[in-house]
Structure formats: C-alpha cells, structure tokens
Amino acid sequence: MLDPVLRLLNLLFALSVPFTHVGGYVTSGLSVVLVWPQWKRLRAQPLFLWLLLFVLYGIVRSALSSVPQIGYRTMVGYVGHWLLPFTLGFLLRSPDRVRHVVWTYLLTFMALVFLSVLAYYGLFYPKLGRNWYLADMGLLKAFRSHISLAGLCLTSSFLMLSLALTDRSVTRLQRGFRVAATGLFLGGIVLTGSRGYYLAAVASYCLFAVWWVLRTGRWRAAAGAGLGIAVLAALLYAAAPVVRERIHRAGPQDRNVQERIALYRVALWEIQARPIFGFGPGQGVRQGEYFDRLPEGLRDVAKYPHLHSLYLNCAADFGMVGFAVFLIVWGLLLRGIWRVFVGGEGFVRSLACGLFWGLVGVLVGDCFDAVLRGPGNAMPVFWLSGLVLGCDPRPTAENAPGA
C-alpha cells in the first residue's frame, strides 16, 4: 500500500523541484508518514542519525540564543532542505525505480536549462509569469538565482558525464546524448556569470580528470574532452557580453569581491568572539556590532542573508561544536556515496560516481557562497544522496545475515 505512494512522491519531487522548491517541500514533507514502517532501516543509516543530531543541536542552540525565533526558522529550513529530501530518496530502495525518478529529474531540469539558453539569446521568452525569469540582466537564471543555477548545472554535468562514461549498458547514440547534455550544463555554468562556480568547475573537473586518467589510463581522451570544454567556454564567452564584462572586472577592486571579503572578516570576528557554540542558527549575519567594524562604505553588506561562505557561516552560527557535526555529516555523505560506487553496479553505481564529483564541485563553490543552505541546491543534492545510499549494496544492521 505504501510503496505506490512512495514511488509517486519521488516522481512528483523529480518533476517539481527543478521549477520550484515548494513542490519539494510538499512531497518530501508527506514522506514523514512513510517513515515508521522503515524506521529500523533508517535508524541503521549513520548519516540519518547525524542529520538528526545536527538538527537537534541547532534547536537547542536556538533556544539558548538571543533571538530563538530566528534559530527555529533556520532549523526548519535545514529539516526541509536536508533531512526530509534525504529521507524521501532513501526510502525508495529499488534500483529500477531510482533510475526512473533520476532520469525524470535530469530530463526535466535539462529541458528547463535548454529553454533558458534559448531565452538568453532571444529565441524564447525570458520571463514567464510575474517573477519567473529564464534569463535576466545578461545572466542565465532558470527561475532561480544565477549562483544557485550554476551549482545545479555543475552537479548535473557530472551526473550526465558519469552516466556516459561508466554505464556500460548504453548504446553509442545514448552515450552521445549524455555527452551533449554534459556540454549543455557546462555551457549553462558559463552563462550564469558565477565566477565562484567558474573556479569550482575548473577545480572539480581537473580533479576528476586526474582521477579518471589514473584509473583508466585514457589521457588522450581526457585531453580531448578538456580541449572541447575550453572551446565551448570560449565560444560562449565571446557571445555573452555581460558575462565577459563580469570576468574582466574580477579583481580586488570589484565591488562583489570587496563585499565577500568584508563578510569573511565579519565571520572571522564572530568566530573569534564565540568559538565554541556560535551565536545561534541564522544569527551570525545579524550581529550589527561586527558589521560596524567595517569601513563605512562596506557596512551595507549586512543586507545579505548569509555570510557568503557555507563554512564560515556555519562556524559563526553553530560554533566549533556544531561545525564538527556539520563536517561529520558531509564526510559520511561523501564516504557513503563513494562506497556505493565501489561496491555497486549498473545505473546506481554510475549515479554514485557522478554525484560524488558533483558534490565535490558544489562544496568547492560554497567556499564563496552558501547555496547548500537554501532549497534550490540542497533539496536535489540530499534527495539524490538518499536515492544512492538507499541502494547501498553492503549489509546494514537491518539486512545483515542472521539479523
């Protein structure tokens, strides 16, 4: 009885979350009613328990903070963006169903990015509805911020590339389609104009290329792929004047760079002031006394909703105690996904490989931003992670022999 409902919720999540996180809230929230029949299996998953610990610590820290309401709202966000999507994906279990919902998500998001690229070059409507922008002010948007879109495109590019390189069941035509989709997502990153994610894409793809060459010895193919990516980026750079201007002005005098450095200084002052437990969830960005230390022309950076670095923001909010739990959560996540790649097979194995490298890229990108705090990137990432870890081939406390 519950299995068809679970399949439907995952499918609706896959169809809706590329367009709006509201669909993700509804579908992953409804998954709570399905938890009890599989509670023993969830309880045996260390990542789930550490996610619960992170949430509980945040709630307690909120209660002891100067403005508890802000902390509670922030922790509701972490529950909705991290814990519930992970649970929804983890409960699915079946590799065949995982394949179905992942392809639904990837094809839906790919169609949205394709229409956005057309809109960027005036071949489709750039605005649909009141505030639904496919492209705006010379930057690719796809109904979200350009930085959030860059993070999603980076993750999706690795998913498609891995499905092209490691899935042995595909035909030559299918492989070509997946390579072309990888190019579309990489081109989307260029058109977002997100310079932080330019660095993240270069760093993660260089690491991936080194790993791939060491693993397969196919250095010529890697060099050819790198040349192809460089040519694509150069062509898009030439055809995107706003992106070109953003790259040219990058440097110490750029206002965006100065604002980020100012926010990092505030974060470091706050961490130094309260290193153990921080100021409370969501409250690091609200400590006016530290913003007042900045030069007068930079004090308006207090308008931002976070400190423009996932790690500094987390340390300022939660302190070193919470930051340690945060690191354990992400360490378990990456280790678990890699374990599925090493021990898995078929589509799920390819998915695990792509997701691992996509997460590496986004975690590098969040040195300069905090997209993994918000729904746009966090919900798909934790949902996909749940799908992968739910198919972990290694025995758990629930299914081990003799259990």
Mean per-residue pLDDT, 289-306: 94
Contact between 188 and 117 (Cβ < 8 Å)? yes
pLDDT at 401: 36
Say whether pLDDT at 14 is over 60: yes
Q: What percent of the chain has pLDDT over 90?
A: 80
Mean pLDDT is lowest, of 186-195, 219-228, 292-301, for 219-228
Are residues 384 and 158 in contact, defined by beta-carbon separation less than 8 angstroms?
Answer: no
Question: What mean pLDDT comes out for the span 258-283?
Answer: 96
What's the rounded mean pLDDT across residues 290-297? 94
Tokens of 49: 């328990």
C-beta atoms surrounding 20 within 10 Å: 15
What pLDDT is attached to residue 1? Answer: 60
Share of the chain above pLDDT 70, in %: 97
Distances from the Cα of 301 to the Cαs of 255, 260, 373, 395, in angstroms? 11, 8, 18, 49
For the chain, the structural domain boundaries read 2-253+304-389
- The pTM of this model reads 0.94
Query: 170 pLDDT exceeds 90?
Result: no
pLDDT score for 134: 97
Q: pLDDT for 29-47, tens place per residue?
A: 998 888 888 899 899 999 9
Tens-digit pLDDT profile for residues 68-127: 999 999 999 999 999 999 999 999 989 999 999 999 999 999 999 999 999 999 999 999
Contacts of 248 (CB under 8 A, 6+ apart): none
Note every long-range contact of 321-326, with CB atoms under 8 Å and residues 24 or more positions apart, other chains counting.
321/57, 321/276, 321/277, 322/54, 322/57, 322/58, 322/61, 322/277, 322/278, 325/50, 325/53, 325/54, 325/57, 326/54
C-alpha distance from residue 181 to each of 1, 70, 98 (Å): 37, 40, 20
Contact 57, 353 (CB under 8 A): no
pLDDT at residue 287 greater than cutoff 80? yes
CA nearest to 323, candidates 358, 361, 271? 271
Of residues 333 and 235, more confidence is placed in 333
